[in-house]
Structure 1
Amino acid sequence: MGDACPPRNGEGDHAKHGGGGYETPSARGAPPPPSGFTGRSPSPFRGGYLPLTLALRDLRGGLAGLRLLAVCLFLGVLALAGVGSLSASIVRGLSDQGQAILGGDVQADVAQREATPGELALLRREGAVSHVTRMRAMAARPDGSETMLVDLKGIDAAYPLYGDFRLAPGAIAPRPGAGQVAIGPELGERLRVGVGDPVRIGNALFTVAGIIAEEPDRPGQGFTLGPPAIVDRAGLAATGLVQPGSLYTSLYRIRIAPGTELEPVTKRLETRLADAGFDVDDRTNSAPGTRRFIERVGQFLTLVGLTALVVAGIGVGNGVSSWLDMKRGGIATLKLLGATGGTIFRIYLIEIGLVAGGAIAAGLAAGALVPWVVVQVAGDALPVPPALGLHPLPLAASAAYGILIALVFALLPLARAREVPAASLFRGAVASSARGLRANAGMLLAVALAAAGIAALAIFTAREPLFAAGFIAAALGLLLMLSLLGGAIRALAARLPRPKSPLLRLALANVHRPGAQTGRLVVALGLGLTLFTTLAVIETNLAGQIRTTIPQRAPSFFLLDIPVGEIDRFRSLAKQAAPEGDLVTVPSLRGSVVAVNGQRVADMESIPDGAWMLRGDRGLTYAATPPGSSRVVEGEWWPADYAGPPLVSVDVEGARALGLKPGDGLTFSILGREFDARIANLREINWDTMGFNFAIVFAPGALESAPHSFMATIAMPADEERGFARAVSNAFPAVSAIRVKEIVQTVSDMLGQLTVAVRSAASVAILAGIAVLVGALAASRRARIYDSVILKLLGATRARILGAQAIEFVGLALVLAAVAFALGAAAGWYVVVQVLELEWAPDWPIVLATLAAGAAVTLVLGLLGTLPALAAKPAQALRTL
């Protein structure tokens, strides 16, 4: 299927009939050709296997021209298959290790108290029970010189019911016994203690029994601010930390008998314990917070990967167009020999299908290996060890995406090659293809159906379909806008006055001349630069929040579990230890909303989105005056000396999610006792103050008699922090002092891990964008070589030709940089303000520098892509073009 020279006669008849109308040898007096090659029938292309034979024969010459298609599909499918496989492997790991992660088949937990004898008997009727208590506490060296917040866990002899609890080699006991504690390695490093050394927690002094190597239920505990410290039940009691009003959680894990159905046990306990304030989970939902986080991050990264695949699809279209442009001579020859448009379509569709299938298969294979690679590189950062193996559903979805994307972007170039007459093909790339577009309404419909299939697959497989639909709509809107912008730039360039400078005139002509790839270049450059800008805006905004906004507003310490009877002594100590400190104290206890206007929460079919105050227990407080971080927006605040029936002030967002208004009633359960309260007002809360913000505030008189404690914040100069922490640790060993700098570092580490994941997925989209740019340049290769040769013949030097092309790319880059800045800033604002609900504070110099670097990279790639045209030899080029 090499190039062929056009016939000398019959060209008009061929153009009229679409192939086969040429002057035969017999018409010139020569012997007739073999049967089947005279006229239009019979045709040598009527055989059922001939398109496949010709396609395979053509592929023997190599993949020149189809490499871009293969690279783009490989990158896009790799991104989708990798993200999907990793997410599925972690979720499967949560399911497979559900018993160990939860600590039992079923878990019932309650805040600020232990189960009553009757409740404990109810639990034991379902199976073997293990009792674990969790709370925050301060661990310190005996002299108080170093302190650290820990996640303290008191375990019984039955712990763990499932999985293995293991200490690192060198431990003095297999598990902590009397007067012993097992600690996490971070605590040992911070306090500079090891096995056998003393550590003080609360009022008790412990000996380090060993460093924790394996804690099976750790992944199910969610986000914690400190490393683990594990003691036995007697050791927990010795600390003196479990007091009325202190913040702790009692967890009761149950191992049911083999063969017992899990669901009836869970339902039975939910029904009998719901009114007592217990939350009940089972091994099928062992770490709901972790599962939701993984699924949502996986969904977001999947959409980023889908964007990469759509970007890659544009590269597929460019690659197919460029490849078919290389095949113009072969297509013309086949048509002149009697091949129909359908035969040509099938030949090249088979070739594209074979190459696309290979690229998709390679992308799936590489994506399936992503979980193994992540485990080797960053396994310790994962919340749970992934269940390594093949995950068919994400791989099948990725393959479907790849096939549909290939169809969407390859069918139209193929349709144009099928319909354009041979005479038009021989005239070169500037021939009009309007006839092909008019003749392919059915092909346009097929493309539309394939695109609809992509959108439907993304939406119906999403955890949040509306979010996925909005994401896809935004991506399609961006593609449409860039496509329209490309057409507008080309039209504007055609109407601008011609510059006097030949170099500028040539650069301007390159933008709008026939066969110019301006539209594709605009889409490729625009997508890449917009993505660069969006990521820069989000990342600098997050970094700015942590680096500047949070430290400026945050106090130096959060202090928890201050006994009510010791609050005055604590205030006095704080004044002495931090004379310049600004201390704020508030009462605190835990409780849950169990009924809304008389309807039990347990009887609700579903809890509305945004009504998070109904999910589990909440922090409660009481106050005579409105909190400084709140503003009453509906109703009235109670008098400072109020002494009537219980009143509450509720967060306005949560109230509106439930349709509540002042005068409505809520029923609370606190420490197992229920009482009713009436809503007095709704408040708008400023959650960015970094102080104590309570969604529910009681009027004075309702909670003072309940066991509770105080919480405090204190802001002080940095040079007073160490002395203050030491003084609090020595005088109030039961008080947890949380240094804000440590919280910021923990959050920074988490955001850093998320940023790495987003960058990894986005890098594939960026690589795909680069491939699209290369494809757009490849698609215009013939026209650029032709222009370069003609200009050389007219006396132009390579420097002048390169200068004209540089001006062309610089002009496009400047226009698109401005557009990308506006689009990227808008997208970044939506993510930061609307999704993450943070303040808008990006670092504009870094954003602009990132945008400039991206534009420079694309400019260099564009110029490198034009070098082959400059190297073309006029004599050889004129013979082949």
Structure 2
Amino acid sequence: MNLPLTLALRDLRGGFAGLRLLAVCLFLGVAALAGVGSLSTAITSELALQGQSILGGDVEMEIVQRTADDAERAAFAAAGDLSETIRMRAMASRPDGSQAALAELKGVDGVYPLYGQFRLAPGALAPRPAGRDVAIAPALAERLQVKPGDPIRIGDAELRVIGLIAEEPDRVGEGFTFGPVALVDMDGLKATGLVQPGSLYTTRYRIRLADGVDAGAVAKRLADRFPSAGWEVQDRTNAAPGTRRFIGRLGQFLMLVGLTALAVAGIGVGNGVTSYLEGKRGAIATLKALGASSRTIFLSYLIQIGLIAGAGIVAGLVAGSLVPLAVVAVAGDALPVQPRFAVHPGPLALAALYGVLITLLFVLAPLARARAVTAASLFRGGVEGAARPTGPVIAAIGLTLTAIVALAVGTARDPLFAAMFVGAAAGLLLLLTALGWLVRRVAAGLPRSRRPLVRLAVANLHRPGAQTGRLVVALGLGLTLFATLAVVETNLSGQIRSTVPAKAPSFFALDIPVEDKDRFLALVAAQAPGAEVKMVASLRGPVVSFGGKRVAELKELPEGAWILRGDRGLTYAATPPEGSRIVAGKWWPADYQGPPLVSLDLEAARALGLGIGDEIIVSVLGVEVPAKIASLREIKWDTMGFNFVLVYSPGVLEGAPHSYMATIAMPETGEVTLNRAITQAFPSVSLIRVKEVIGQVAGVLGQLSTAVRAAASVALAAGIAVLVGAIAASRRARIYDSVLLKLLGATRGQVLAAQAIEYAVLALILSILAAGIGAAAGWYVVTRVFELDWATDWRVVGVTLAIGGFGTLALGLLGSLPALAARPARALRAL
């Protein structure tokens, strides 16, 4: 190895301009992978590290619409220190009703919090609420225009604001909320009068265990002790499951985008290495003439490429490791937790391994071709066909590709999805390779045009030494990735525009007492004549059994069975709800009085493997309610109305304490007046403005969109690098063509026009292909990975592809300028 190493180091002293593209491509791809992996790991690690504070304890028992009975409370207390919190929606207002806003009312006991610190901002009148005191989130203070010392009304109680909440340790663990927090103690919660039979509230019991006690074992023991009571159990190792699922799903998508960017960059690596070795033809020929063996040359250039690739990979790892720090600095408030800076070896090692394997995959063939060519052929004009890869080279490439596939599938959170992605990427590469061959064959078979520029452009596509196949693969991958990301991004940004109906309701009204139903309707009719009100009964309860299977006994939930996570909304109706379509079975008669029946959402039924006649059991306030499935419904969730996965026949749920929900559609001009009137007349009713819901959903989709844009920027940079590499790889042939054409009398403008036609034809063909494949890939990501509705803005996708096509043309022509400037005498001597 001494001689190859010496030759490699001496060659690099003269500069490595030809290998800069190799370093840039690897830097972009590895940085993308390392950055996504580091950020995802940093957030999930912080969630695990703060698991106790986020959850509020080592074990949490959660239930809806009731508190624990004596036996349950005694069992919880026997496990460790116990804390109780009750959370519900409530309207908060100034005493005169001039300002009102929806809030999340949270009642806590005297030992809250078991972990972490509850802290108020400077200027607070007391460290925590007591009696008729309340601590509120800054956002609520801003909406009500109040400050510490001012009174506000929640329910039946007038409370004194003692301060603004600066730190609520279990905020992330409690998930999505419709409004800012108002925190009181249990006496203050009782004073509001909002906790009544049928009202919707969530009770959580947090348990602090002794050191060394297994939280998972305690959680399982408590769940097994009360299997039918409807408790949702968590422990500190999974403090925020919804956040983890979101981060994991987004991280998986971005990781695959990064892997795609690295694959695209790999094409650039191959092009860069090919261009570099083309420029070293004279040096290789000289070394072979002096007696250097093919092995020496192979190892020498492998060492050079390895050194430059290593530098690019290391630089990418450094940049990727700094991504969490940069994201926290730029958008830390948007993250569920702010991870502390740390180097995460796992994602960095994975990114580095990908970089090494991608480098080997794309440099083995160019190195083998340089190794196999004789000294005499290296001195020729470069129009001879390249030598076919030998068996050992093909085996090495196959082994490397197998390692990449195994790594992608083996390290993915969803191996099946990763395998499908790898298969799709391989299929795309084969398709583009076949397309490149087809373009050359079709161009060769076309009749010769009478227009010289068109004839020259067509000849450029199939002449000996043409880079058509390489350009098609490089540009096709880049444009397809751009199209896919454009489809995903426009879906995220277009969700609200396309899914909100033209006549969306103005308010959602929740927790309307059964006995106040008629009075509520009368008030709305008086305050907003002509308003359209739709009211449905509302209960909540978890699914505890389906098709004879107990949910508590399942080792893992079926794929897509979100219906089994936590409580579900329940209702009863004599007629099918609006926004639903019966697709199997039939609805019960309006006067039905037989055994309990239920209508189930079609997607939920497919996930659970249920059909007509199967049994499903829910727990309502600790009482199990079995029912036979009478029909399956296809639900339109984008109607902005109330849609329930489970709708029961009359006579099943009416006896359980419950409340009503309503949608109110009215002119915007009367919304403030109606809001004030309902808040004053019905303190227990929560009014949610549809605009606020849309704003919160838009915020989440905006974060997703920003992440996709960031991934797109990396992919764009990688695609540009690939195009530059493809153009560089054909530089020698371009110079040769340009010199001969100019010697025959062609002007620079004519040569440039012929090349413009060539690139325009390729860009048009590949843009059409990329549009189709990008649409299919984007549809899968949007509907299956993110589970969103399909709402693509095709104009944006078209503009993206047009920009990509024109960018291809512009970069191709810019890359041709050095060939046009080449002097014939010097170029011919060099050739």
The two structures have a TM-score, normalised by structure 1, of: 0.92
Aligned counterpart, 1:309? 262
**What are the Cα deviations for residues 86-121 of structure 1, in whole angstroms up to 9, with x where unaligned?**
000101000110100000111111110011122111
What is the CA–CA distance in structure 1 between the aligned matches of 2:695 and 2:689, rounded to whole Å?
10
Aligned counterpart, 1:527? 477
2:194 is the counterpart of 1:254: no
AA matched with 2:793: D
Contact 1:112/1:244, CA 8 A, preserved across alignment? yes
Tell me by how many angstroms 1:837 deviates.
5.2
**What are the Cα deviations for residues 455-514 of structure 1, in whole angstroms up to 9, with x where unaligned?**
111111111111111112122222222222222222222222222222222222222222
Question: How many pairs are equivalent?
Answer: 831
Q: Identify if the C-alpha distance between structure 1 residues 494 and 548 changes in structure 2 by more than 3 Å, giving closer, same or farther.
A: same
2:73 to 120, 124, 127: 120
2:585 to 629, 635, 643: 635
What is the CA–CA distance in structure 1 between the aligned matches of 2:134 and 2:293, rounded to whole Å?
83
**What are the Cα deviations for residues 358-414 of structure 1, in whole angstroms up to 9, with x where unaligned?**
111111111111111111111111101214211111111111100100010000000
Instruction: Indicate the SS of the match to 1:826.
Output: helix
Tell me by how many angstroms 1:251 deviates.
0.4
What is the CA–CA distance in structure 2 between the aligned matches of 1:183 and 1:699, rounded to whole Å?
42
Structure 1, unmatched stretches of 5+, are 1-47
Tell me by how many angstroms 1:838 deviates.
4.9
Aligned counterpart, 1:58? 11
Aligned counterpart, 1:769? 719
Contact 2:99/2:144, CA 8 A, preserved across alignment? yes
2:408 is the counterpart of 1:455: no
2:109 is the counterpart of 1:148: no
Runs of 4+, deviation exceeding 6 Å: none
Mapping 1:839-850, distance limit 5 Å: 839-850=789-800
Tell me by how many angstroms 1:829 deviates.
3.1
Instruction: Point out the more displaced range, 259-268 or 283-292.
Output: 259-268
What is the CA–CA distance in structure 1 between the aligned matches of 2:561 and 2:476, rounded to whole Å?
41
What is the CA–CA distance in structure 2 between the aligned matches of 1:236 and 1:143, rounded to whole Å?
21
AA matched with 2:473: V
Mapping 1:442-841, distance limit 5 Å: 442-552=392-502, 554-836=504-786, 838-841=788-791
Aligned counterpart, 2:304? 351
What is the CA–CA distance in structure 2 between the aligned matches of 1:544 and 1:656, rounded to whole Å?
28
Aligned counterpart, 2:293? 340
What is the CA–CA distance in structure 2 between the aligned matches of 1:599 and 1:755, rounded to whole Å?
39
What is the CA–CA distance in structure 1 between the aligned matches of 2:39 and 2:520, rounded to whole Å?
49
Structure 2, unmatched stretches of 5+, are none
Tell me by how many angstroms 1:772 deviates.
0.4
AA matched with 1:274: P
Contact 2:85/2:204, CA 8 A, preserved across alignment? yes
Instruction: Point out the more displaced range, 551-560 or 425-434.
Output: 551-560
Instruction: Point out the more displaced range, 602-611 or 400-409.
Output: 602-611
Q: Identify if the C-alpha distance between structure 1 residues 164 and 145 changes in structure 2 by more than 3 Å, giving closer, same or farther.
A: same
Tell me by how many angstroms 1:598 deviates.
4.8
What is the CA–CA distance in structure 2 between the aligned matches of 1:426 and 1:644, rounded to whole Å?
93
CA-atom RMSD in angstroms: 1.8
Contact 1:328/1:425, CA 8 A, preserved across alignment? yes
Contact 1:553/1:689, CA 8 A, preserved across alignment? no
Aligned counterpart, 1:408? 361
AA matched with 2:415: P
What is the CA–CA distance in structure 1 between the aligned matches of 2:244 and 2:702, rounded to whole Å?
19
Contact 2:357/2:400, CA 8 A, preserved across alignment? yes
Instruction: Indicate the SS of the match to 1:274.
Output: coil
What is the CA–CA distance in structure 1 between the aligned matches of 2:276 and 2:283, rounded to whole Å?
12
Tell me by how many angstroms 1:220 deviates.
0.9
Contact 1:111/1:249, CA 8 A, preserved across alignment? yes
**What are the Cα deviations for residues 299-322 of structure 1, in whole angstroms up to 9, with x where unaligned?**
111000000000000000000100
What is the CA–CA distance in structure 2 between the aligned matches of 1:546 and 1:843, rounded to whole Å?
12
AA matched with 1:246: S
Q: Identify if the C-alpha distance between structure 1 residues 661 and 492 changes in structure 2 by more than 3 Å, giving closer, same or farther.
A: closer
Instruction: Indicate the SS of the match to 2:79.
Output: coil
**What are the Cα deviations for residues 331-366 of structure 1, in whole angstroms up to 9, with x where unaligned?**
111112222212211111111111111111111111
Instruction: Indicate the SS of the match to 1:800.
Output: helix
Tell me by how many angstroms 1:330 deviates.
1.1
Contact 1:581/1:716, CA 8 A, preserved across alignment? yes
Aligned counterpart, 1:397? 350
Aligned counterpart, 2:246? 293
Instruction: Indicate the SS of the match to 2:569.
Output: strand
What is the CA–CA distance in structure 2 between the aligned matches of 1:702 and 1:403, rounded to whole Å?
63
What is the CA–CA distance in structure 1 between the aligned matches of 2:382 and 2:94, rounded to whole Å?
80
Contact 2:582/2:631, CA 8 A, preserved across alignment? yes
Instruction: Point out the more displaced range, 422-431 or 397-406.
Output: 422-431
**What are the Cα deviations for residues 193-218 of structure 1, in whole angstroms up to 9, with x where unaligned?**
22222222222222222221111111
Tell me by how many angstroms 1:630 deviates.
2.3
What is the CA–CA distance in structure 2 between the aligned matches of 1:261 and 1:814, rounded to whole Å?
62
Contact 1:583/1:713, CA 8 A, preserved across alignment? yes
Q: Identify if the C-alpha distance between structure 1 residues 367 and 162 changes in structure 2 by more than 3 Å, giving closer, same or farther.
A: same
What is the CA–CA distance in structure 2 between the aligned matches of 1:279 and 1:459, rounded to whole Å?
33
2:197 to 238, 244, 248: 244
Instruction: Indicate the SS of the match to 1:667.
Output: strand
Tell me by how many angstroms 1:770 deviates.
0.4
What is the CA–CA distance in structure 1 between the aligned matches of 2:478 and 2:93, rounded to whole Å?
51
Instruction: Point out the more displaced range, 166-175 or 100-109.
Output: 166-175
Aligned counterpart, 1:210? 163
Aligned counterpart, 1:173? 126
What is the CA–CA distance in structure 1 between the aligned matches of 2:338 and 2:790, rounded to whole Å?
36
Aligned counterpart, 2:277? 324
Tell me by how many angstroms 1:790 deviates.
1.9
Tell me by how many angstroms 1:134 deviates.
1.1
AA matched with 2:446: L
What is the CA–CA distance in structure 1 between the aligned matches of 2:807 and 2:130, rounded to whole Å?
62
Tell me by how many angstroms 1:577 deviates.
2.2
AA matched with 1:829: W
Instruction: Point out the more displaced range, 113-122 or 222-231.
Output: 222-231
Tell me by how many angstroms 1:553 deviates.
5.3
AA matched with 1:860: A
What is the CA–CA distance in structure 2 between the aligned matches of 1:803 and 1:199, rounded to whole Å?
74
2:111 is the counterpart of 1:158: yes
What is the CA–CA distance in structure 2 between the aligned matches of 1:55 and 1:830, rounded to whole Å?
47
2:44 is the counterpart of 1:91: yes
Q: Identify if the C-alpha distance between structure 1 residues 79 and 147 changes in structure 2 by more than 3 Å, giving closer, same or farther.
A: same
2:380 is the counterpart of 1:427: yes
AA matched with 2:636: N
Aligned counterpart, 1:872? 822
Tell me by how many angstroms 1:582 deviates.
1.6
AA matched with 1:156: D
**What are the Cα deviations for residues 45-99 of structure 1, in whole angstroms up to 9, with x where unaligned?**
xxx4111111111111121210001100111000000000000010100011010
What is the CA–CA distance in structure 2 between the aligned matches of 1:244 and 1:293, rounded to whole Å?
34
Instruction: Indicate the SS of the match to 1:65.
Output: helix
Instruction: Point out the more displaced range, 267-276 or 250-259.
Output: 267-276
Contact 1:425/1:431, CA 8 A, preserved across alignment? no
What is the CA–CA distance in structure 1 between the aligned matches of 2:531 and 2:715, rounded to whole Å?
50
Contact 1:553/1:690, CA 8 A, preserved across alignment? no
Contact 1:92/1:387, CA 8 A, preserved across alignment? no
Contact 1:266/1:281, CA 8 A, preserved across alignment? yes
Instruction: Point out the more displaced range, 546-555 or 557-566.
Output: 546-555
Aligned counterpart, 1:264? 217
Instruction: Indicate the SS of the match to 2:152.
Output: strand
What is the CA–CA distance in structure 2 between the aligned matches of 1:875 and 1:598, rounded to whole Å?
86
The two structures have a TM-score, normalised by structure 2, of: 0.97
Q: Identify if the C-alpha distance between structure 1 residues 841 and 118 changes in structure 2 by more than 3 Å, giving closer, same or farther.
A: closer
| Identical amino acids, percent of aligned pairs | 65
What is the CA–CA distance in structure 1 between the aligned matches of 2:211 and 2:484, rounded to whole Å?
53
Contact 2:97/2:680, CA 8 A, preserved across alignment? yes
What is the CA–CA distance in structure 2 between the aligned matches of 1:841 and 1:604, rounded to whole Å?
36
AA matched with 1:78: A
